Structure 1
Amino acid sequence: MPHLSTRFYSRPPNANRFHLNLRPSTSVLRLPNRKLIPAMSFSSSSASKMNTRQVKNPGTTDPRKLSHVLKYHDQTKHSFTKYARGPHGLDWANQPNPFRRYISAPLLPLMHLPSRTDHRTQTPSSLSNYNHDNAPLYSSLFTSLPPPQPLTVSSISQLFYDSLALSAWKTTGYSTWSLRVNPSSGNLHPTEAYIIAPAIASLCDSPFVAHYAPKEHALELRAKIPSRFDLFNNFFPKNSFLVGFSSIFWREAWKYGERAFRYCNHDVGHAIAAVAMAAAELGWDVKILEGMGYKELKKLMGLDIFPEFVIPSKPIKGKIPEIEFEHPDCVLVVFPSGATGFDVNYEKLRLLMEEFSALDWKGKPNLLSKEHFCWDIIYSTAEVVKKPLTIRNAFSVDPFSSSGVCSESSYKGFTVREVVRKRRSAVDMDGVTAIDRETFYQIMLHCLPSGSRSREKQKRQLALPYRVLSWDAEVHAALFIHRVKGLPKGLYFLVRNEDHLGELKKAVRSGFVWEKPEGCPRDLPLYELARGDCQQLAKGLSCHQDIAGDGCFSLGMVAHFEPMLSNKNVWMYPRLFWETGVLGQVLYLEAHAVGISATGIGCFFDDPVHEVLGLTGSKFQSLYHFTVGGPVVDRRIMSLPAYPGPNIDA
């Protein structure tokens, strides 16, 4: 996703601001002269003045921790007068290696898989039993899951190949770089993945913990788990296994400075959704093991055997190899769809994890950079939002809910693999491509957390891939419609948790009309707020990036923010970003499935976005932007196959 990837400023290039003239009588969103104009029309929103004294009803949350999180969020906002603190330029000599390897850990190769477009060129070592005729179509997964596949080396190979593997190499001039199935801010890939699984024939003869190495499409065996642990028979149904995620903050901080903690958690969300979609292709369901705490996750992935990173009291620069540590984020349970028999006793699981420190852990992590710069607030915030073990968290799996269908013909007949592996982050949009209203509505239906549930509100996360998350939907979408045939240009709002509708109407501008647009499906809570050409507005709000206005539509993901942190706890802060990443992954895949493209946008002016919507305070906050439209292909860049790829790291 582009975040000023070709231009890096410590200060904005100018201090232009927008003049918003909302005329409720005609519901028109106007921009004088349809261009950026210097005007003092935006005041400093009250959202930028949060402090400890303004925190009310902290509930079960420690007020000091809540204050810290609000401070971090406020401090890392971009504004028209300054960007969040980051490097003044890119230290290319110390660009982090995007591939973590565990030196001396045994390598367990996985099988490579063909796609419909390249199966004739596959070698005998490719997965030969992949049947294109039986491969599920992308759109079909939102209706029902196929029968579960057995847990084998081929199915595990397919899961990683279609979720976290390399998708291509790109080259131009003297530069060569890899792309992955899961997207990442700036293609920096801070997210690392682990598998914790029972014995799998032709892979490992005992239960094991392994790190996934995407460049090799292989597993690095970190440890074998003795049979006396009986991890899977005691807690999970047959043919279940775990996938864990961790983040290397340094990879993002190298380029984005203090705002990197946000982007790392976007990427966790993208990875979660990528695994959920690939698992669905195999007839497997996925759920976050939410009761697990930071300490338990650290032991489970073998990350507690390495030295602790001591957080400095201020930003520092130098050789700091320990800054490359991995922060454990979450672990997913992957299991056959429809499986029952879960008995996740978190207290017993905690006691078992205590013994993991004594396993024979193999491999030493490679060094990613020679020198580093530490933005201390990233690490102090990560410390504050660490989740403890929550024993009372019951593990439950809701029945699969199918998503709504209003325009099945919008999809191009691609299989799941063709969509996920062909996904790319567009660098530019053509400013011309338009989509039909029915196609737009179909994309929006797949953005709903509860799926198609007759006479029930959108709230619970029951549809693919949102069902992987363990909390009710907390993220909505404010949409700028540019080129959707049959829909007036303007500002719209998708309400993904209808319990928030009344609160949202009170929080935003009183002049918004909140009307269902023409032809909108009855069960799609999409509302028109105001009409007008928002192209320049969308560009300006997204750090002056043309891509936000040159697509068919763009959006800001607006989270139910401070009340969520206050009522549930501060560890929901990264989880809100995970939810935006899951939603963003759906937008990526939907765009490619209907024949266009998309890009996540992490660089936007936070409080000016709130000002456009009329939001004040910290009840709702914009966390992630996205744009969907017709991509501009740079013909100077050559694509190369993902495997075998060039023998380089970046």
Structure 2
Amino acid sequence: MQSFHHRFHHSQHLLRPSTTFLLPLTTNLRHPPPPPPRFTMSISSSSIQENSEHLLTQVLTYHNQTKHSFTNYARGPRGLDWANQPNPFRRYLSAPLRPLLHPSDSDNSSPLYDSLFHSLPPSKPISKTTISEFFYDSLALSAWKSTGFSTWSLRVNPSSGNLHPTEAYIISPPIESVSDSYFVAHYAPKEHSLEIRTQIPSEFFAKLLPNGSFLIGLSSIFWREAWKYGERAFRYCNHDVGHAIAAVTMAAAAQGWDVKLLDGLGHDELKKLMGLDVYPELEIPSTTMKGKLQEIEFEHPDCLLLLYPNEIQEIDISYKDLSAAISEFSKLDWKGEPNSLSKEHICWDIIYKTSEAIKKPLTLEKNIIIEPFQKSGNCSSNPYNTLNLRELVRKRRSAVDMDGVTSMSRETFYQILLHCLPSGFQQVQKRQLGLPYRAMDWDSEVHCVLFVHRVIDLPKGLYFLVRNEEHFDDLKNSTKSDFKWEKPEGCPLELPLYELGRADCMKLSKHLSCHQDIASDGCFSLGMVAHFEPTLRKKGVWMYPRLFWETGVVGHVLYLEAHAVGISATGIGCFFDDPVHEVLGLTGSNYQSLYHFTVGGPVVDKRIMSLPAYPGPTHDA
């Protein structure tokens, strides 16, 4: 391993940043670089293949243009325009508001967190109580924070920069004291209430969806994230969708409900179902623009989740019939006008060109396959604190700093990684069958490269968690030839974790994550490496955001695992993309790093005061 160790120290020398690199969040709006070629989004009858290549080129252009490097960060605003900071709360003005119940944070009826990875409890019926608990445990406010003249809210679902671009909708049968009819409603987290947008025909559920089920739709407001992060915001919005999917799935599990992504539906169906055609179409400019652009505050429909009693073993849904029924939704009586979020905006054109390119079409041939719940592996006596799910998710926080001292046992490290496996307690990892990954309907495409800093009895160094073992040979052949690819000592048989090489990676991981100490001061940090261009070519460019969703789901599990063992975690969206690939020896676009994370002992800022989530301040913070 001498060559590996020598190369690591040599890499750290090469990875020192130039003294002339641009500061984050800077760009020149007057003289932006030439925009990427603009491609027609309609499918030509003469060449579907040519159009597919055009769409793929747009996605690859976006991905490459928004990479950070040591000499240049992705394009973003010059600084934070506080006067136009987006309102973090979407409201539909004049829509009927139906308050939900406020469960107790210490309610013992919520199942123990760890138990949900082994089996789901018996399902509860849909009621005001269970729906209130579900939203309270998934997408609600968790606290308010205050220091000096600043006050801001936190939520159960984490978000890049705490900007919360994700909005949620429920499509449900009647719920007593909420709606006497079948309905579509927007969830308002600040009020912990449902805004009733419209009533829908009873046949929609009676004929098309399983008994006892309902739907959750997720959408993104790109502007909320782009206000701070510029062009890279599209990536972060989709991280947040993944976090929301995981938060929804875990909260549903506590009610005994299973979750499945209805991914046969396309962009147009989701837009109609959630009532998002209320927004005017954005005319995408050919370059970056600044001004009063209210249409930029539209919501992009991301996904639709079916929540159903876990006792149901088989679901027969016709996407053709479902699409036909949704096509009539535009004729319904929709209530409420969306509130304005900012007075002025910046339109980063490449975000919206890319969001057009990745719009998923309706795919009638997709089937809903309900595979048996697969429990996750267990190798430790019990590293988890005896927290129930509600206590855990509502106490979860993103660490701002790590203490650089806290360590964890090797068994706890392995246990955390066992809960990161998509297939659960299986000899081969591929299908997503465990909690919360089973909500997604594709084979796992995301792996983890780990920088181990402070794990007792585990050598410091570089490790790799293979989350789809079908990729093992390709990964081994695509990375550096002298990597060891050996199972570390004490590693459970069912955990596909491999040691690549031993070295002190603290400086390296810090440099790779935009020189942030938080990446080196934890117990371990990691980068999530996705099987990238081959996936987009094989399955379609609409998989691009879904790769980020998968990283968000993994990240959400890391958040919960860290807090369950008494420490903390933080997602890291800022990292130097290609230098990460260089450390691994990856070339081309077959594999790309999409998200970084760090887990360790947090440093608590005692200057910040924590306030209850409800009732919160009367003003928008």
Query: Which of the five TM-score ranges fits, normalised by the shorter chain?
Result: over 0.9
Question: 1:114 and 2:104 equivalent?
Answer: yes
Question: 1:31 and 2:9 equivalent?
Answer: yes
Match of 2:588 among 606, 610, 617: 617
Letter paired with 1:579? E
- Tell me if the contact between 1:321 and 1:367 (Cα under 8 Å) persists in the aligned partners: yes
Match of 2:528 among 543, 557, 574: 557
Residue 78 of structure 1: aligned partner: 68
Q: Distance in 1 between matches of 2:524 and 2:16?
A: 25
Shift of 1:338: 2.3
Question: 1:188 and 2:157 equivalent?
Answer: no
Letter paired with 1:186? G
Q: Distance in 2 between matches of 1:158 and 1:433?
A: 34
Residue 477 of structure 1: aligned partner: 448
- Tell me if the contact between 2:15 and 2:579 (Cα under 8 Å) persists in the aligned partners: no
Deviations 1:475-508 (A, max 9, x none): 0000000000010000000000000000000000
Q: Distance in 2 between matches of 1:253 and 1:476?
A: 27
Residue 42 of structure 2: aligned partner: none
Shift of 1:435: 0.2
Question: 1:574 and 2:545 equivalent?
Answer: yes
Q: Distance in 1 between matches of 2:436 and 2:219?
A: 20
Letter paired with 2:536? L
Deviations 1:271-293 (A, max 9, x none): 00000000001110000001010
- Tell me if the contact between 1:61 and 1:569 (Cα under 8 Å) persists in the aligned partners: no
Q: After alignment, is 301-310 or 338-347 more displaced?
A: 338-347
Shift of 1:350: 1.0
Shift of 1:28: 6.4
Deviations 1:544-580 (A, max 9, x none): 0000000000000000000000011000000000000
SS at match of 1:543: coil
Match of 2:91 among 72, 82, 101: 101
Structure 2-normalised TM-score?
0.94
Alignment of structure 1 residues 254-265 onto 2, 5 Å: 254-265=227-238
Residue 126 of structure 1: aligned partner: none
Match of 1:410 among 380, 383, 391: 383
Question: 1:161 and 2:136 equivalent?
Answer: yes
- Tell me if the contact between 2:90 and 2:338 (Cα under 8 Å) persists in the aligned partners: yes
Shift of 1:599: 0.2
Match of 1:394 among 345, 359, 367: 367
- Tell me if the contact between 1:557 and 1:624 (Cα under 8 Å) persists in the aligned partners: yes
Question: 1:288 and 2:261 equivalent?
Answer: yes
Q: Distance in 1 between matches of 2:488 and 2:392?
A: 29
Shift of 1:135: 2.8
Question: 1:201 and 2:172 equivalent?
Answer: no
* Aligned CA distance change for structure 1 residues 107 and 513 (closer, same or farther; 3 Å): same
Question: 1:138 and 2:113 equivalent?
Answer: yes
Residue 599 of structure 2: aligned partner: 628
Residue 436 of structure 2: aligned partner: 465
SS at match of 1:624: strand
Q: Distance in 1 between matches of 2:142 and 2:387?
A: 16
- Tell me if the contact between 2:294 and 2:340 (Cα under 8 Å) persists in the aligned partners: yes
- Tell me if the contact between 2:260 and 2:439 (Cα under 8 Å) persists in the aligned partners: yes
Q: Distance in 1 between matches of 2:124 and 2:492?
A: 35
Shift of 1:31: 2.1
Question: 1:147 and 2:147 equivalent?
Answer: no
SS at match of 2:69: coil
Letter paired with 1:237? P
Q: Distance in 2 between matches of 1:306 and 1:287?
A: 28
- Tell me if the contact between 2:264 and 2:319 (Cα under 8 Å) persists in the aligned partners: yes
Shift of 1:92: 0.6
Residue 252 of structure 2: aligned partner: 279
Deviations 1:196-254 (A, max 9, x none): 00011121100000000000000000001133xx1112122211000000000000000
Residue 604 of structure 1: aligned partner: 575
Q: Distance in 2 between matches of 1:39 and 1:86?
A: 19
Shift of 1:647: 1.2
Q: Distance in 1 between matches of 2:166 and 2:546?
A: 15
Structure 1-normalised TM-score?
0.89
Shift of 1:408: 4.1
Residue 507 of structure 1: aligned partner: 478
- Tell me if the contact between 2:67 and 2:577 (Cα under 8 Å) persists in the aligned partners: yes
Q: After alignment, is 350-359 or 303-312 more displaced?
A: 303-312
Shift of 1:59: 7.9
Q: Distance in 2 between matches of 1:607 and 1:616?
A: 9
Deviations 1:159-182 (A, max 9, x none): 100000000000000000000000
Alignment of structure 1 residues 58-77 onto 2, 5 Å: 62-77=52-67
Residue 498 of structure 1: aligned partner: 469
Letter paired with 1:203? V
Deviations 1:442-501 (A, max 9, x none): 000000000002xx4100000000000000000000000000001000000000000000
Residue 613 of structure 2: aligned partner: 642
Shift of 1:23: 3.8
Q: Distance in 1 between matches of 2:17 and 2:275?
A: 54
CA RMSD of aligned residues (A): 1.7
Q: Distance in 1 between matches of 2:52 and 2:533?
A: 13
Question: 1:337 and 2:315 equivalent?
Answer: no
Q: Distance in 2 between matches of 1:391 and 1:338?
A: 26
Residue 43 of structure 1: aligned partner: none
Residue 563 of structure 2: aligned partner: 592
Letter paired with 2:269? E
Residue 17 of structure 1: aligned partner: none
Residue 46 of structure 1: aligned partner: none
Shift of 1:531: 0.4
Question: 1:355 and 2:328 equivalent?
Answer: yes
Q: Distance in 2 between matches of 1:598 and 1:293?
A: 34
Residue 365 of structure 1: aligned partner: 338
Question: 1:173 and 2:163 equivalent?
Answer: no
Gaps of 5+ in 2: 19-35, 38-47
SS at match of 1:555: strand
SS at match of 1:492: strand
Q: Distance in 2 between matches of 1:249 and 1:206?
A: 32
SS at match of 2:304: strand
- Tell me if the contact between 1:166 and 1:178 (Cα under 8 Å) persists in the aligned partners: yes
Q: Once the two structures are aligned, what percentage of the paired residues are identical?
A: 68
Q: Distance in 2 between matches of 1:61 and 1:497?
A: 30
Q: Distance in 2 between matches of 1:389 and 1:33?
A: 46
Shift of 1:61: 7.8
Shift of 1:88: 1.0
Q: Distance in 2 between matches of 1:75 and 1:218?
A: 40
Gaps of 5+ in 1: 1-21, 41-50, 53-57, 117-129
Deviations 1:139-178 (A, max 9, x none): 0000001110111000000010000000000000000000
Deviations 1:71-114 (A, max 9, x none): 10000000000000000111010000000000000001000011
Q: Distance in 2 between matches of 1:23 and 1:526?
A: 22
Q: Distance in 1 between matches of 2:604 and 2:504?
A: 26
Q: Distance in 2 between matches of 1:475 and 1:240?
A: 30
Residue 377 of structure 1: aligned partner: 350
